[in-house]
Every structure is written in structure tokens, then in C-alpha cells.
């Protein structure tokens, strides 16, 4: 029986594990893949206090290092369901069932597909959701980036180090990305913009992507553009399927909490990108993790008198 079982080892889950273990709780940190979460897909992080510039995998490593020292148990598995049986929570993976007094949900979010024709067909054959993972395969090519948020614009800038040119297609005439990121993109000679436009179809041959049909939303005109690769950054979906049975999510699947990270299920907390919240960042994920661990400690102390 764990005092606290944390599902997901992104920055939110690792911080919760640090704080809970330092409170002397018996902590399990359950992850289906590699620790670090979305940080593993980020080349440069410039807005984590204390570091002017650090790569995502390096920051993940630094967050992971101290956990062993405080006795956090690392568990591996894909959680498929969480059940509540009185004060005991059962966390069920494909191979195991774990029991805990409290559960901290930190499963984060993952890229949302665009839903355009050709997207699934050319996935990994020119269509990518991760510039850090795939960018180097697209040297000297003309690339399309879809979206207008931080991810799209930042990753477009990252891709210019490999690509011949990068075009950002955005459905409005104004970016959503932070101003400093926008300014860098506007100043980059390799980047051009297609405003008020959406991807109509991704096309190619039996090998890979060759072109993209783009529709201008103002004129309705569809034009075909030659591109060797398409990077899609149109937002995130919550990884909350495993807790869909608990009645703790909103209509879009984000987990609803109060400011103490409590869900409406006593002893179940949610943190980081998985939560219904305004700002999805490493800093906010880390703050959530610290708060939830402290609340888990209080919950257990009250439960056990």
C-alpha cells in the first residue's frame, strides 16, 4: 500500500514525488514511458527560473536525479483505470494493480491531430508532431508548420536551422504565441506566414509528403504548395481516459480541481497540464506538484488521526 501513487513523471509528477517523499510518505511514481514528459520534446527552455537556457531532456534529468535519494519507487506501466474503494484507491495498469491511500494524477497532455486528409497516411513519412525528434531529417527542405501558438512558432524557429524555408500557416491573422517568440519569428528571414488559412489536404507519393493544399478562409481559394514536411502544432488533448469513470473531468476531458489540486474524489489530486487551467507551463506544473503533495500529506494525516 503506497501512501501516494503518482501517475506520470513529467515535471508535475516528479515535483509531487520530491515533495511527498521529503514528507516521509511512501511514494510510487508510475510512468508508461520515459521520465520527463513533454520536456523530452523541447530543445531549448528559456523560461524556467534559474536557467538562462537549458534543454528539455537535461532539465528532466535534473528533476529526476534527487528522487532516488528520497526513496521514490519507480514503477513502469500504462494506467488504464483508477478505482475508488472507500479510502483505498486501486490503480490498474495493463499488467498490475497497485493500492494507495492517495493518488496524484499527472498524466499531462499530448498533441492534438489536425484531422486533415493525408495526415494519418503520411504520419512519419513527412508529417510530424515533434521538431526536436524529427527536424534533422528535413535538411534543406521547404517545411510547413501548422498552428499559431507557442509550440508552432517556437518549433518553426527551431526548424530553420535545418530547413531551406519554413512557412507557418495559421487560421487567423494574429498569432497566439507569446510576444517574444512572435518577434523572433518575424525577424527570421527563413520564416514566412500564410494568414487566415488552413490545411485542406496533405499529398505525396508512395514515399513521402510532396505538397499541401491550403485554403484561404477569407477568399475560399485553394492553392497547392510544394513542401517536404509538415509539422503540426494545433494544441493539446488531456491524457485522462484512464480516469473517465471517476466523474472528475470537464466536457473536454481536462480534470477539474480547486486551488489545492483536489478533485471531487477525496484523496485524488490532479496536477500539471492534465488540469483545467489557464497556463500550461513547466513552472505551473511544478507548482501544482508541490501543492498536491502537501495536500496528500494532510489528507493521510487526517485519515489516520
Catalytically annotated residues: 130, 133-134
Q: Does 131 engage in binding with ligand NAP (CB under 6 A)?
A: no
Residues 195-234 that bind ligand FAD (CB under 6 A): none
Nearer to ligand FAD, 15 or 215 (CB): 15
Segment interacting with ligand FAD (CB under 6 A) among 3-11, 81-89, 183-191, 260-268: 3-11
The entry of ligand FAD, ligand NAP, none near residue 219 (CB within 5 to 8 angstroms by kind) is none
Report if residue 234 touches ligand NAP, rule: CB under 6 A.
yes
Rounded to whole angstroms, the Cα distance separating 98 from 120 reads: 35
Q: Which residue in 1, 34, 47, 192 binds ligand NAP (CB under 6 A)? A: 47
Residue 233 within binding range of ligand NAP, rule CB under 6 A: yes
Q: Which does 176 bind (CB under 5 to 8 A by kind): ligand NAP, ligand FAD, none?
A: ligand NAP
Is there binding between residue 287 and ligand NAP (CB under 6 A)? Answer: no
Nearer to ligand FAD (CB atom), residue 53 or residue 303: 53
Q: Which residues bind ligand NAP (CB under 6 A)?
A: 47, 114, 146-152, 154, 171-172, 176, 198, 233-236, 280-281
Amino acid at each position: 500500500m503506497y501512501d501516494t501513487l503518482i501517475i506520470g513523471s513529467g515535471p508535475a509528477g516528479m515535483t509531487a514525488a520530491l515533495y511527498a517523499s521529503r514528507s516521509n510518505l511512501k511514494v510510487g511514481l508510475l510512468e508508461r514511458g520515459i521520465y520527463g514528459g513533454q520536456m523530452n520534446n523541447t530543445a531549448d527552455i528559456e523560461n524556467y527560473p534559474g536557467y538562462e537556457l537549458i534543454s528539455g531532456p537535461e532539465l528532466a534529468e535534473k528533476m529526476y536525479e534527487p528522487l532516488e535519494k528520497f526513496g521514490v519507487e519507480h514503477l513502469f506501466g500504462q494506467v488504464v483505470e483508477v478505482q475508488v474503494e472507500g479510502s483505498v484507491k486501486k490503480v490498474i495498469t495493463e499488467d498490475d494493480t497497485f493500492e494507495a491511500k492517495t493518488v496524484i494524477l499527472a498524466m499531462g497532455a499530448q498533441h492534438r491531430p489536425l484531422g486533415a486528409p493525408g495526415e494519418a497516411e503520411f504520419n512519419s513519412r513527412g508529417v510530424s508532431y515533434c521538431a526536436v525528434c524529427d527536424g534533422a531529417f528535413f535538411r534543406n527542405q521547404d517545411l510547413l508548420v501548422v498552428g499559431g501558438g507557442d509550440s508552432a512558432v517556437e518549433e518553426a524557429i527551431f526548424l530553420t536551422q535545418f530547413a531551406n524555408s519554413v512557412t507557418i500557416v495559421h487560421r487567423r491573422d494574429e498569432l497566439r504565441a507569446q510576444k517574444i517568440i512572435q518577434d523572433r519569428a518575424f525577424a527570421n528571414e527563413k520564416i514566412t506566414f500564410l494568414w487566415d488559412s488552413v490545411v485542406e489536404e496533405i499529398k505525396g507519393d508512395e514515399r513521402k509528403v510532396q505538397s499541401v493544399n491550403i485554403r484561404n478562409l477569407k477568399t475560399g481559394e485553394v492553392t497547392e504548395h510544394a513542401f517536404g514536411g509538415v509539422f503540426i502544432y494545433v494544441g493539446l488533448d488531456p491524457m485522462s481516459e484512464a480516469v473517465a469513470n471517476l466523474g472528475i473531468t470537464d466536457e473536454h476531458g481536462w480534470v477539474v480541481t480547486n486551488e489545492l489540486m483536489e478533485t471531487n474524489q477525496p484523496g485524488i489530486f490532479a496536477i500539471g497540464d492534465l488540469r483545467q487551467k489557464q497556463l500550461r507551463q513547466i513552472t505551473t506544473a511544478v507548482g501544482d506538484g508541490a501543492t498536491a503533495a502537501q495536500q496528500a500529506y494532510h489528507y493521510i494525516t487526517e485519515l489516520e488521526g
